[in-house]
Amino acid sequence: MMREKVAIIGYAQSYHQANMPMTREDMVFEVAKEAAKMAGIEREDIDTVINATNDYYEGRTISELFLVMPIGAYLKDYTKVEMDGANAVFYGMLKILSGTHDIALIVANTQGSTFNPHQISVYTLDPTFDRQIGVLNDISAAAIQARVYMNKYGISEEEAAIVSVKNLGNAAKNPHAHRRMPGISLEEVLSSKLYCDPIRELTMSPISDGAAAVVLASEKKARELSDCPVWIKGVGSCQDSYIRDRKLYKLEGLEAAAKKAYQMAGIKNPFAELDAAEVSERYAHEELMIYEALGFCEEGRGGTLIDSCATFNDGQLPVNPSGGALSADPITATGLIRIVEATMQIRGEAGAHQIPGAWRVLAHGQTGICAQQNIVFILGGEE
Amino acid sequence: MWRNIAVIGVGQTKHGIRRDINAAEMIAEAAWKALEDAELGPEDIDAIAIGNMQGFGGICQAELWSGDLFAAPGKPVLRIATGGTTGGSVAQCGMYQVASGLFDTVLAIGFEKHSDSKEPGATMGLSHVGLANMFHLLANGVDVRTSFAYGGGVGAAAGVSAYQACEYMHRSGCKIEHLDMVAAKSRRNAAKNKYAHLQWPNCTAESLAKHPRFGEIVAYPLRLGHICPASDGASAIVIASEEIARKADRPAWVRGLAACADEENQQAENAQGVSILDTSEQMQCRIAAMKAYRMAGIKNPREEIDVAEIYQPFPHQELMYSERLLLFDDGKAWIPLEEGETEIDGKLPIDPSGGVLSTNAIGSSAMQRVAECALQIMGKAEEHQVPKDVKNAVAHGWGGSTNFTVVTVLGDTPRLRW
């Protein structure tokens, strides 16, 4: 149980794109400054700064070395989480709950244009066996995952493609998204370039440059500084076994993470109680698996759920109104962008993709091949 | 911090060139030793913090494929990496995990397997930094052709350290002989530590300086014998809440912890920085030390600290950081060194384990400082146990290009008393 509440009082995200005409430092400076400005704080008010980047994806060892100044960490408590940005929010929350810090600035960034992330994914494999064989990378592993899942539950390629149609269509209304495709059709998705059967160009996430930032505050500070704090109601994180050693047709790790988060937030029936969800689906079929793991539908019924249009923006539980990871995927920033989008929904600041009356929103982040590590946040407005 | 936490178990592998074992097995060895020491099973662990510098071992996110060997599946795992400070940052992450109240028992692991990347491992990691730094400096309009100091930039943290040694010597008036003394002390102490890499029993400043190979100056003022090795190794600690720690025989209570970041030092070297003019100033270390001591309720560190574990891959850093940790006057640390105060049986022993100078498996190094402090408090340091009652110990780590610092203060009594 949490001994006090932690709130998000400021956020910012970049305009994600394929090749940002900015240095990494400029990009990070913009979002960090904007998030602090929104929270109504000065650099002096920040107690701790946590960055989420990955040395491999950034193409340099100690990727945060030159970021100390642009993210405002100069002479401050500072650390780096080398995972998805949502985990950095988790760490910031732990620091606030410890009673040692009151305000935390979380910044996550990746410039995918520096290094091809699919090439780098080979380095995340077991180096003594899988890497040497040279068959697997994140795309081929996802293709195996997709086939295992689709064969087991009789999910068709069309059902997975509907996810792309939904998310890329939603992204058209989101000015921050990278891949925005208004009026995209099922045929367009199914005839896009085949990478590794059944993974196609439009059923996998693009390589993006982008950054996001949030400001976390303790309950006391949040009430002082913000008239619309967004509370962290629940959080759950779980690492699964390595791809060789787990069932690929379901995301058991995510299921466990969601269970913890729901328990903390007091949610019994997520499909009925949540107003929207922002999930990190690196591949279209993964979103269907995420539905099942998050308990939006029964095991194996992800296809049926998308067929019923319940997760479209006008459905019962809109998933990824922002367009999700399929529309922009700056690796370590992706999970943090989900948290930013969920916060925007609750504050009613999402603009064209606003879900009316969203008051309890789920945000999900993942790290590793085939979503090995998952983290789930339940965010909510004032009760 | 609203609740007491303590280190209740420590595990280390033998550090050195470990071709007998792979990274996952190495991590598991340290993790299981720590669990055994804490008398806990893997099912008792609520969360895990882990870290290494992935560029140095050639593996990205090693905790994902190796997790099954240290009971990570089903648990929340946080991966932390901050350069040389990694181990210390991981230890602090574990401490915050427990302090938050969300978890009661946490396993924190730091590791590095340099020999897995092309020999020698550290060179690849460092050139990875150096090259990236060059592009950064070019992008910011620094003309590297006219910058002598860029030679230091190519060596990343190691390059900065040679410049820093000169700056420190200028600042303090210490001589290269004092660096010999620190290095010799480290090798001597390492000979008493069964987990250390470079061991040289009875090494003296003269024998090191006159040695045909180790006495050679590599980059002034550093001799080959002054430089840390690139080791393979892992270390782990188990951190627990007060209720669990009370059951342990003699836990090492966490009394204070702080981290601090300063501007990147290479820009300063290139005279393009905005804040750092002297890389031996180390403002961030003073701030972290003051914060950690305040949290620990230590008013006079010189009297109250009984043993210090300082991250010193290069010998001048032991002197410099002992000053920045407020244990000696600025520029005067070489005087107590001459008088033997920092020996294992001295008034204020520094690095009785041999420190980073004798064992440097990057991700493990700053974790080992915390682990060694815990061992000294628990009285389990065996041959290199300092011959006195250790009440407070300070563990230090630096990272980046010597611009990140973590300071952890451990003690024999809890921080908060009811």
A153 falls within a domain: no
Provide the 10 A C-beta neighbour count for residue A309.
Answer: 13
Whole-angstrom Cα distance, residue A124 to residue B117? 14
Using the beta-carbon criterion (under 8 Å), do B260 and A75 form an inter-chain contact?
yes
The pLDDT value given to residue B115: 85
Whole-angstrom Cα distance, residue B339 to residue B326? 18
Given pLDDT bands bounded at 50, 70 and 90, which one contains residue B278?
A: confident
B31 falls within a domain: yes
The pLDDT value given to residue B155: 58
Residue B58 touches partner A, C-beta closer than 8 Å: yes
The pLDDT value given to residue B124: 60
Distance from CA of A123 to the nearest CA of B (A): 5
The pLDDT value given to residue A74: 92
The pLDDT value given to residue A85: 97
State both tokens at A290: 């995420």
Residue A372 touches partner B, C-beta closer than 8 Å: yes
> Which CATH number does the domain housing residue A214 bear?
3.40.47.10
- Which chain A residues are Cβ-neighbours of B160 within 8 angstroms? none
A173 within 8 A of A159, measured Cβ to Cβ: no
Q: Which of A55, A99, A124 sits opposite B2 (nearest CB)?
A: A99
> Which CATH number does the domain housing residue B33 bear?
3.40.47.10
Mean pLDDT of the B293-315 span: 96
**Owning domain of residue B85:** 5-118+230-411
What phi, psi does B70 have (nearest 5°)?
A: -125, 35
State both tokens at A191: 């005839």
Mean pLDDT of the B320-335 span: 97
What phi, psi does B321 have (nearest 5°)?
A: -75, -25
Residues in chain A with pLDDT < 70?
A: 1
A-contacting residues of B 315-354, CB under 8 Å?
none
Given pLDDT bands bounded at 50, 70 and 90, which one contains residue B58?
A: confident
A85-97 vs A334-347: helix axis angle to the nearest 10? 70
The pLDDT value given to residue B85: 95
The pLDDT value given to residue B143: 65
The pLDDT value given to residue A258: 98
B368 falls within a domain: yes
Position with higher pLDDT, B58 vs A84: A84
Mean pLDDT of the B261-289 span: 79
Residue A247 touches partner B, C-beta closer than 8 Å: no
Kindly tell me if the per-residue pLDDT of B336 is higher than 80.
yes
Whole-angstrom Cα distance, residue B104 to residue B82? 25
pLDDT in tens, B100-145: 999 999 999 999 998 887 655 555 666 666 677 777 767 766 666 6
A263 within 8 A of A270, measured Cβ to Cβ: no
- From residue B160, alpha-carbon distances to A27, B114, B133, B280 in Å are 27, 21, 12, 10
Strands (E), A172-284: 194-196, 199-200, 209-218, 230-239, 276-278
A30 falls within a domain: yes
User: Which of B65, B66, B82, B106 is the mutation pick for testing A, counting most A CBs within 10 A?
Assistant: B65
A149 falls within a domain: no
Kindly tell me if the per-residue pLDDT of B240 is higher than 60.
yes
- Which chain A residues are Cβ-neighbours of B80 within 8 angstroms? 79-82
Q: Which of A75, A128, A241 sits opposite B68 (nearest CB)?
A: A241
Pairing of strands A48-52, A103-111: parallel
Q: Which of B67, B83, B99 sits opposite A239 (nearest CB)?
A: B67
A196 within 8 A of A140, measured Cβ to Cβ: yes
Using the beta-carbon criterion (under 8 Å), do A83 and B79 form an inter-chain contact?
yes
A72 falls within a domain: yes
B191 falls within a domain: no
B315 falls within a domain: yes
pLDDT in tens, B138-175: 776 666 665 555 555 555 667 778 888 999 999 999 99
What are residue B258's DSSP bridge partners? Answer: B407
B204 falls within a domain: no
**Owning domain of residue A27:** 6-115+207-225
pLDDT in tens, B2-26: 999 999 999 999 999 999 999 999 9
B-contacting residues of A 45-74, CB under 8 Å?
49, 54-56, 59-62, 64-66, 68-69, 73-74
Position with higher pLDDT, B228 vs B116: B228
- From residue A195, alpha-carbon distances to A206, B12, B235, B409 in Å are 12, 45, 42, 53
The candidate with the shortest Cα–Cα distance to A184, out of A162, A200, A217, A206, is: A162
End-to-end, the C-alpha distance of chain B in Å comes to: 14
Provide the 10 A C-beta neighbour count for residue B151.
Answer: 15
B360 falls within a domain: yes
- From residue B282, alpha-carbon distances to B88, B285, B296, B315 in Å are 17, 6, 21, 16
A80 falls within a domain: yes
- Which chain B residues are Cβ-neighbours of A367 within 8 angstroms? 61, 64
Residue B224 touches partner A, C-beta closer than 8 Å: no
Q: Which of A61, A124, A239 sits opposite B72 (nearest CB)?
A: A239
Residue B127 touches partner A, C-beta closer than 8 Å: no
Whole-angstrom Cα distance, residue A37 to residue A15? 18
pLDDT in tens, A104-159: 999 999 999 988 999 989 989 998 889 899 899 999 999 999 999 999 999 999 99
Distance from CA of B160 to the nearest CA of A (A): 14
**% of chain B beyond a pLDDT of 90:** 77
pLDDT in tens, B376-406: 999 999 999 999 999 999 999 999 888 999 9
B143 falls within a domain: no
Q: What pTM did the predictor assign?
A: 0.96
Kindly tell me if the per-residue pLDDT of B270 is higher than 80.
no
B329 falls within a domain: yes
The DSSP line for A325-337 is HHH---GGGHHHH
Give chain A's domain count.
1
Distance from CA of B129 to the nearest CA of A (A): 5
Residue A238 touches partner B, C-beta closer than 8 Å: yes
Give chain B's domain count.
1
